[in-house]
Structure 1
């Protein structure tokens, strides 16, 4: 039976209670004494005997009330603590003054990859927990907050915070450690800071060639193979990379982009692979995970991969082959599960031929090639994209502009857009800032460089006598050559030059120009 006895404190009250139980030959299993409360756990007895015992105990001087309860407080606290430790997602580990492990919840067992039965009651060293900073806290009383440490048994990293437990004399009598899985911490960070996911439905197009590319990419998304996205600058390679990730089985994990051309070579290695504690002067105390670790379980987007140096190409190839990464300054290798999507606007085949880019790395990256066509090869998309950008910037800049005049739209369609979609977007933003009415006019559209953008007129040599017809023919050749370079279509050339489709073909044949 379990009893709770409320009493007025006096010397001898516990003695009187135990004397009655001893006289009745009732064994006391456990007892807890608090201020003005005594909790008793006694052997089970018949109901009537229990009532007679309670009645006799009630007659003791100072006893105010006796109630039967369902369990001892210590048992209730233990059950509550066990429920809490089992339900929390973070690992919790505690040790006593001798360094013996007293608490170890299932989350800790999962993160540290050691079962509870092999840990509880064991010293820290025997349980292989040398790197968790618990021993340091136990010896010095120092508290550590969110320090990343390497787990030998788990062959990975975790984030540890330690709290020293002190008595009234400020002596350390134990330590509680909070352990977090680094992958879960990074996933939480990614969910809180990442932009909205980009899907294939968010990529606007009207052209048949883009429809074909998007359909190809949709099929590639279902695979876990490496994708190499090729295309000129400004064609939207990162948009496709994000859409590939969002449509894959890894959509719930992190998408980590890194521009290999934007980071100096001396820093790119540590950004990609991370670094260990003390790897170099100025390194963070606990080290730092690299992009491969941050993307573990998700997708790593290597933009401008053609700019990676020969030294890093070797390390990158090793990670792709072994699926393991070693931080700068560390001897530990960590397994990573990452899908690679790479992108470049360079001709990697020429770079391989020139021994600038490793051939084996090229084949590792070029498993699934995806070519994004330039804007000049998808004429039908110019109006669609222009109108979308116009609407976006009109709302953003609070401008009542509603569309393009026919002449302005023709001006957009006649330009070859060497900067592709990015250049088109910037041009539309500039136009919205300039327009006063409801329509964008040709004078609001600035194409090419703002200064010095006028092409110098073709030069005519006067070293020998030429007729006017011969001189005009030379100028015509220059004009045709430049227009053909920008617009690989006789219809587009005709629209720009004010000629019919057949007239353009006739002139091309006249000067032996080919559209191929």
Structure 2
């Protein structure tokens, strides 16, 4: 039986209540005072005796009311706390100053491999050290979002601690919040992931590309390494994303890495991570590598032919052993990652010249996928051009919606050394230039040279020496550049020269005002 008695605060109130219970022969199990009320937990009594007791207690001076309740305040708080801790996805545990485990929710027990018998028992010293509990008790300070290694999960988790203090400020316990790094990675992936690319997003009508798509769909269900080959701009990353989206790992992380874009000194730490203090400037707490972040998912290594021989050896070991070790670390972490690589380099030639490890080449080239250049699938050019036109017209709010017949012929006739990427850029530029509803040939700036750039023509048969021939070419280059920029400073910037060097060379060739013995073609040029 549990009773709540709102009351006044007076000396002797509890004594009078105890006398009433003693006269009734009822034993008191516990008493709590809270929020202007006395709470009693007593032995169970019959209903008739209960009513008599409640009436007698209400006659005590200072007692306003006697109500039967289901819980004592402490029990109610404990039930609420358990419900809260059970609903929290993060692991939460609490220990006292002796390291005795006082609270542990389901998430923490799962991460740490603890059972119900662990409560009211001291935590193992190794675990207390790993969770920064020992340091928090000793130093009396909090730690926030520190990554620590736990043997119980064979990996890392993110830990935060907070000391519990008594009225005098002394540390009497620690609350620990922890989360498995895999859960953190999953949350980051959900927040930062771009829209998935599927094979349906890869448009084509050419037989060559249809064949490649058929092969890629078959390869997607495998966990084997794929090596995508093709020229720059053929869509290697697009295929890598589609392979991931159509695989059993589709719900896991896809991480693309351009190996050529990251300096060699940083690429190793990016791929494999590092421990705190591994090198000067290493972040506090260390940093997980991309292999760890992609665990369970797919890691796409673009431009794989650009990595150094040293890094090739470490990558080979990671692929063979399916384990990685952070820089400065002593533990090897198991990883389950599907590797997709891509390159436009001739890896076979690099192997022959000992620029690429042969054993790594065979490890990567398990499933080769060759993407044809755009010039070998000309049937796809109109389809892709129309798609890019619609996309950029909507993006730029342009009224253009078609190509002229001559513009289509011009697109079909070009060899597209930059492949699909070059086509996309040229269509975007055309949409920016056009004013009406139709893209015409003058809007398509195809090729590296503009229409008004004429090649330098030199009649070599009239000269005797190489120096004279080079001088004539230099004179033509200076003349054409000054015609365009009308400023020695701007011409120098275009040619990679200082403006004084441009002036000196123009005087040499008689192109500068008041050049000895010759007039100038540019009387109004600016310094």
Q: What is the TM-score normalised by the length of structure 2?
A: 0.84
Question: How far off is 1:455 after superposition?
Answer: 9.1
Partner secondary structure for residue 65 of structure 1: coil
Which residue does 2:195 correspond to in 1? Answer: 196
1:99 aligns with 2:96: no
Structure 2: how far apart are the matches of 1:177 and 1:229? 46
Which residue does 1:63 correspond to in 2? Answer: 63
Question: How far off is 1:461 after superposition?
Answer: 11
Partner secondary structure for residue 213 of structure 1: helix
Q: Deviations over 1:260-307 (max 9, x none)?
A: 111111000000000100111111001011100111111100011111
Distance 1:455 1:358, change over 3 A: farther
Distance 1:182 1:326, change over 3 A: same
Partner secondary structure for residue 376 of structure 1: helix
Question: How far off is 1:413 after superposition?
Answer: 0.6
Q: Deviations over 1:415-447 (max 9, x none)?
A: 111110001111111112222222111121122
1:49 aligns with 2:49: yes
Which residue does 2:175 correspond to in 1? Answer: 176
Which residue does 1:86 correspond to in 2? Answer: 86
CA contact (8 A) 2:111 2:152 kept: no
Which residue does 1:147 correspond to in 2? Answer: 146
Partner secondary structure for residue 282 of structure 1: coil
CA contact (8 A) 1:104 1:116 kept: no
Structure 2: how far apart are the matches of 1:118 and 1:259? 50
CA contact (8 A) 1:230 1:369 kept: yes
Question: How far off is 1:458 after superposition?
Answer: 12
Which residue does 1:405 correspond to in 2? Answer: 404
Partner secondary structure for residue 129 of structure 2: coil
Partner secondary structure for residue 401 of structure 1: coil
Partner secondary structure for residue 218 of structure 2: helix
Question: How far off is 1:459 after superposition?
Answer: 11
Which residue does 2:37 correspond to in 1? Answer: 37
CA contact (8 A) 1:408 1:442 kept: yes
Structure 2: how far apart are the matches of 1:433 and 1:202? 25
Question: How far off is 1:19 after superposition?
Answer: 2.0
Structure 2: how far apart are the matches of 1:120 and 1:396? 60
Structure 2: how far apart are the matches of 1:459 and 1:317? 54
Question: How far off is 1:457 after superposition?
Answer: 10
1:372 aligns with 2:371: yes
CA contact (8 A) 2:129 2:135 kept: no
Partner secondary structure for residue 182 of structure 2: helix
Question: How far off is 1:20 after superposition?
Answer: 2.0
Question: How far off is 1:10 after superposition?
Answer: 0.7
CA contact (8 A) 1:273 1:290 kept: yes
Which residue does 2:413 correspond to in 1? Answer: 414
Structure 1 runs, 4 residues or longer, greater than 4 Å off: 451-462
Which residue does 1:217 correspond to in 2? Answer: 216
Structure 2: how far apart are the matches of 1:461 and 1:369? 50
Question: How far off is 1:315 after superposition?
Answer: 0.7
Distance 1:186 1:9, change over 3 A: same
Q: Equivalent residues in 2 for 1:248-327 (5 A)?
A: 248-327=247-326
Q: Deviations over 1:56-96 (max 9, x none)?
A: 11111111100111222222222221122122111001111
Q: What is the TM-score normalised by the length of structure 1?
A: 0.86
Which residue does 1:345 correspond to in 2? Answer: 344
Question: How far off is 1:395 after superposition?
Answer: 1.8
Q: Deviations over 1:216-268 (max 9, x none)?
A: 11121111211111111100010111111111111111111100111111000
Partner secondary structure for residue 5 of structure 1: strand
Q: Equivalent residues in 2 for 1:359-508 (5 A)?
A: 359-450=358-449
Structure 2: how far apart are the matches of 1:454 and 1:215? 44
Query: Structure 2: which 5+ runs fail to align?
Result: 462-527
1:120 aligns with 2:119: yes
Which residue does 1:354 correspond to in 2? Answer: 353
